[in-house]
Homo-oligomer: A and B are copies of this chain.
Amino acid sequence: MKKVKIALLGLGNVGRGVWNILQMNGEEIMKRSGCQVEVAKILVRDPSKARAVKVPEELITTNFDEILNDDSIKIIVEVMGGIEPAREYILKSLNKKKHIVTANKMLLATYGDELFKKADEEEVMLNYEASVAGGIPIIQAINESLTANKIEKLYGIINGTTNFILSKMELEGSDFENVLKEAQEKGYAEADPTSDIEGFDAQYKLAILSSLAFGTKVKIDDVYREGITKITSKDIRYAKDFGLVIKLLAIAKETDGKLQLRVHPTMIPATHPLANVHDSFNAVFIKGNAVDDLMFYGRGAGDLPTGSAVVADIVSILRSDVDTENRLPVEKNNLWHKEIGEINDITSRYYIRTTVTDRPGVLGEITAIFGRHGVSLRSVIQRGRIKNEEEVGLVLVTHYTEEKQLQGAINEVKDIDAVKEINNMIRIEDFN
């Protein structure tokens, strides 16, 4: 049995998962890869740090060069996260013709092009299944299983933290702030939750997924982004009245020759498979022109699920014979150049929640403005006022309309005296 030495860069959550899987499923991995995997070195910043995993002390190092200059180490598993020094370490390792497995979405979304090009030049593999949607093998599916398809649409619930929060809000009627606090206590949300709740994490992941699915270069800023901080329990209740639920949806679709890329809270039909993705689960829904609808569902985070994807990437390198330098047989990225659309150019249905003074004629004024902007309304809900309150909630749902027309209408409505606030505007996706 051939022994293959690997090194881990990082021993956090994912690194621990990788270590534990290699221990607990060693026999499976050996039989399936034909090789025995040996972790030869583990790079950490602070060896004295208390960790939830026990590894032999002699494996730990703080000196990357020890790993880089060890020619017996064939595979580098980068699970440290962040841009630098991860990027530097990967580039140097590629230069030494070491294969790379990485779970680093931020790095790939930012410098993916540079890294893939370098791996290609050095004729080594760079695998990154764990960078999107944790344990769900979505990269493999797009790269290997959907090659017969033109992918037309891709929708993803690819951030577990926000899905946990929105599911809880839906289930319990609680408000955003309370649920966020609970998520932080349970470890589902970080102390600084910005990256999740403002949609940055999903933005990185959609950049990676869409560049693969549509075979084109996608930069992070090509993806329009809105977080979930403005969603209230009121919006969730109204959504329910319309048979809809609110998800932080990552959307990529080609319309009129342009690629629409966006991450924002989205109302979707309660009967759609994505609406039934609860808690911290992730799911990616794809429509291909041959395969039609497909959905992949699973754990988008966690040490073992993410480790499962990392170790599968290691096995795939082992199977392709780590001793011969392996070239990716064909280029999988940037097959086409696709133009990226602007958020203002999309066509959607919209939900708008406003607070207005309850006096005669307000509704007429508002609907007249929407009409002038060419926005046709499908439903209007005005709840009767409570006791002596002067202000009432007014919710509008539009038919399909262009975003720029809608924004024009909202801007004008905002200036009506009786309109106290535009509380929220949420796009509705009906998957047509």
Please list the residues of chain A having a beta carbon within 8 angstroms of any beta carbon in chain B.
17, 21, 24-25, 28-29, 31-34, 129, 135-137, 140-141, 144-150, 215, 273, 276-277, 281, 288-299, 302, 304-305, 307-312, 314-316, 319-321, 329-330, 332, 335-336
Do residues B291 and A147 form an inter-chain contact, with CB atoms below 8 A? no
Contacts of A299 in B (CB 8 A): 291-294
Q: Which of B147, B297, B312 contacts A315 (CB 8 A)?
A: B147
A-B contact list, 25 entries, CB within 8 Å: A24-B150, A25-B289, A28-B147, A33-B330, A135-B290, A135-B292, A135-B294, A137-B141, A144-B316, A145-B309, A146-B312, A147-B311, A147-B316, A148-B307, A148-B309, A148-B315, A273-B297, A276-B276, A288-B308, A292-B299, A292-B304, A292-B305, A293-B298, A295-B298, A297-B297
Say whether B149 contacts A145, CB under 8 Å. Answer: no
* Given A140-B140, A291-B135: A32 in contact with B296 (beta carbons within 8 A): no
Of A146, A150, A320, chain B has the most CB atoms within 10 Å of the CB of: A146
Instruction: For residue A383, give the distance in angstroms from its CB to the closest CB of chain B.
Output: 30
Q: Evaluate contact between B316 and A148: CB separation under 8 angstroms.
A: no
> Which of B33, B312, B335 is A145 in contact with, Cβ under 8 Å?
B312
Partner of A330, one of B24, B32, B149, B336: B32
Highest count of chain B CB atoms <10 Å: which of A129, A145, A296: A145
Chain B residues whose CB sits within 8 angstroms of the CB of A145 once the complex forms: 129, 137, 140-141, 309, 312
CB pair B312 A148 closer than 8 Å: yes
Q: Contact at B144–A144, with CB atoms within 8 Å?
A: yes
Q: Which of B146, B273, B335 contacts A276 (CB 8 A)?
A: B273
Q: Is the CB of B307 within 8 A of A298?
A: no
Q: Do A295 and B294 have beta carbons less than 8 Å apart?
A: no
Quick one: closest B residue to A297, CB to CB? B295
**Is B148 in contact with A335, judged by CB distance below 8 angstroms?**
no
Inter-chain CA distance A144–B147, complex, in Å, is 16
State whether A311 and B29 are in contact (beta carbons under 8 Å apart), knowing that A140-B140, A273-B297, A291-B135 are contacts in the complex.
Answer: no
| B295 contacts A147, C-beta separation under 8 Å | no
Question: B residues within 8 A CB of A316?
Answer: 144, 147
Please indicate the chain B residues that have their CB under 8 angstroms from the CB of A32 in the complex: 147, 330, 332, 335
- A32 (CB) vs chain B CBs: closest residue: B147
Specify which chain B residues have a CB less than 8 angstroms from the CB of A335 in the assembled complex. 28, 31-32
Considering the chains assembled together, what is the distance between the CA atoms of A308 and B288 in angstroms?
A: 9
Cβ of A29: which chain B residues have Cβ within 8 Å of it? 147-148
List of B residues within 8 angstroms of A298 by Cβ = 291-295
A29 to B129, CA, bound (A): 22
Give, as a whole number of angstroms, the nearest-CB distance from A279 to chain B. 11
A320 neighbours in B (Cβ, 8 Å): 329
A10 to B50, CA, bound (A): 63
Given A141-B145, A148-B312, A292-B305: 13 more A-B contacts, CB < 8 Å: A33-B147, A34-B330, A135-B291, A136-B294, A140-B140, A144-B144, A148-B309, A276-B276, A293-B299, A295-B297, A296-B296, A319-B329, A321-B329
Kindly state the separation between the CA atoms of A204 and B28 in the bound complex, as whole angstroms: 25
Which residues of chain B are within 8 angstroms of A291 by Cβ–Cβ distance?
135, 298-299, 304-305, 308-309
CA distance A226 to B129 in the complex (A): 38
Q: CA A294 – CA B329 in complex, angstroms?
A: 29
Which of A144, A273, A276 is the most central at the interface, judged by chain B CB atoms within 10 Å of its CB?
Answer: A144
Among A149, A273, A310: residue with most chain B CB under 10 A: A149
Cβ of A327 to closest chain B Cβ, rounded Å: 11
The 5 closest A-B pairs by CB, nearest first: A137-B145, A148-B311, A135-B291, A291-B308, A290-B308
